[in-house]
Amino acid sequence: MELHDYLVTLRKRWVSVALITALALCGAVAATLLATPAYEARSQVFVSVRTAGGSTSDLVQGSSFTQKQVKSYTDLVTSPRVLVPVIRHLDLATTPDELAESVTSSSPLDTVLINITTTHQDPQVASDLANAIADSLAAQVTELEQPSDSAVSPVEINTVRTATPPTEPSSPNAVLNIALGLVVGLAAGLGLAVLREVLDTKVRTESDVHHVTDTSVIATIGYDVNAPDEPLIVQTSPQSHRAESFRRLRTNLQFLDIADRPQTIVVTSSLPGEGKSTTTVNLAISLADAGSRVVLVDADLRRPSVAEYMGLEGEVGLTTVLIGRATVEDVVQPWGNGNLHVLASGQIPPNPSELLGSRSMANLLDQLASEYDVVLIDTPPLLPVTDAAILAKLTGGALVVVGSEKLHRQQLAEAMGSLETVGARVLGVVLNRLARTQGDTYAYYDYSSTPTEPVSRKQKRSRAASVPQQRSGRAPARRFPSRAQGDVAAQMIQSTNGELAGAGSHRWPGGRLSDHEPTQG
């Protein structure tokens, strides 16, 4: 991670960093308030050697001897030999080992001084201990260094600084504790934020997509909590931000590889729930509104949803054509201004992959490509089944819809790899459900002439279902189905239900699949 990545992580997860820091500060303050105050008292002794003469050599020898012995005397301070007399003298209810934990001794470098520091909850007891230990050390050293002939000990220890009762506690140190809590809290918060960022492999932004693939992100579509209730956003709310995002997708798609612009396009995703079907439908409407002749094919033969979204008949369609029960002119349905036609999925077969990879499907795609400017094909996700990869190989390329917060980088890599394995062409990535705070700068601007009034869910479905009658301003071309052909399609539903009976509505006869209801792509 670079410095910029750390700054982005901090900005994204500043709440957790601030929370952890605040908890650490509260812990430091609580520990300071709950800690019992302790007082330190210090005494200091001077170690010297008695010399028989006052010559310079005697003084040098005595000084050298003293400096060598000071280290031993310093360690002797916390020994039971020194502390036991102190316990008896002060009548303390403790043991030498326990008392030694509250006593420290040190000797400044190149000196013959010994500092004795004691810690106690009572400042008077602390000073008494320091003075008593200094006296006991002098007595014990004199005894230990005394010659065997009962002569006077050559080593003499004198107290040069008497301990006095301290007025301020040495611990807890409130300033130090709070500063330490702040540093520890910040370090822990930043460390946890960076760890979460490193371990978090969900795809959220364009940067996450670029970490997986070199394929360009040709459009970003913002997240809208009302999207499930308003799938045809380009039709029902044409001035909304999401509708404008689909128009930008249309524009960018028209400029992809101008020298060899694909005419048949597969729209897929890695997993269910990323918004591929709603993206396909809205893109088709946007292309038709721009004057292109578009046919929308629902090739998701497992969980079809296009017919439901657009308020069209879905019992006859692609599968009916593929088995030779009807021609495409008989079952394709006009929608909107006459530029958009929809080929529904038909009944769900037991062998979707085989049907979609058949010669009949290839011939059908060639026929549609010769009659329409753009052929959009909604397909199942790439990871659960192979349908989309099969169709992507037969068409001009694939658009991969990536749902922000919906999948991990590894899953996206596997999906893109499945397309590369079959040699399919990836036209681009559409990043869907992107939160506005994650980079959709257009979300901060509103260029609508009039505000969009809220519409109930029932009104939205009614409006979407009635769009073909409301917007059919011109008669369809000769190759498009007429009203009589629509009657033929209705009769065909009854005939095919008789011939293909056995699986119920939207089910292929003779094939038993799990009970999947049409859901949102």
Give the 3-state DSSP-derived string for 154-184, with helices as H, strands as E and coil as C.
CEEEEEEECCCCCCCCCECCHHHHHHHHHHH
Instruction: Please give the residue that has the higher pLDDT: either 52 or 300.
Output: 300
DSSP state string for 449-511: SSPPPP--HHHHHHHHHHHHHHH--SPPPTTS--HHHHHHHHHHHHHHHHHT-SS-TTB-TT-
* CATH 3.30.70.1130 describes domain 39-161: yes
Domain 206-443+452-499, architecture per CATH:
3-Layer(aba) Sandwich (3.40)
Q: What local confidence, expressed as pLDDT, does residue 257 receive?
A: 62
pTM over 0.85: no
Q: What local confidence, expressed as pLDDT, does residue 469 receive?
A: 40
Mean predicted confidence (pLDDT) in 416-433: 93
Rounded Cα distance, 41 and 62, in Å = 31
Count CB atoms within 10 A of the CB of residue 116: 28
pLDDT at 516 over 80: no
* b/e code 444-455 from CB counts within 10 Å (16+ = b): eeeeeeeeeeeb
pLDDT at 234 over 60: yes
pLDDT at 439 over 90: no
pLDDT at 361 over 60: yes
Q: What local confidence, expressed as pLDDT, does residue 317 receive?
A: 93
pLDDT at 462 over 50: no
pLDDT at 196 over 70: yes
Quick one: what percent of the chain has pLDDT higher than 70? Answer: 79
Residue range(s) occupied by CATH 3.30.70.1130 in the chain: 39-161
Q: What local confidence, expressed as pLDDT, does residue 380 receive?
A: 95
Out of 76-80, 148-152, 437-441, 506-510, least confident range = 506-510
Q: How many residues does the chain have?
A: 521
| Span 41-60, pLDDT tens digits | 999 999 887 765 555 555 55
Residue range(s) occupied by CATH 3.40.50.300 in the chain: 206-443+452-499
Nearest by Cα to 21 from 184, 177, 173, 191:
184
Could you give phi then psi for residue 110, rounded to 5 degrees? 60, 35
Q: What local confidence, expressed as pLDDT, does residue 39 receive?
A: 93
Mean predicted confidence (pLDDT) in 103-121: 91
**Residue-averaged pLDDT of the chain:** 81
Mean predicted confidence (pLDDT) in 185-206: 88
What crossing angle do the helices spanning 174-199 and 3-12 adopt, rounded to 10°? 100
Q: What local confidence, expressed as pLDDT, does residue 172 receive?
A: 87
Rounded Cα distance, 229 and 434, in Å = 18
pLDDT at 503 over 50: no
Q: Look up tokens 């000073």; give the residue.
A: 127
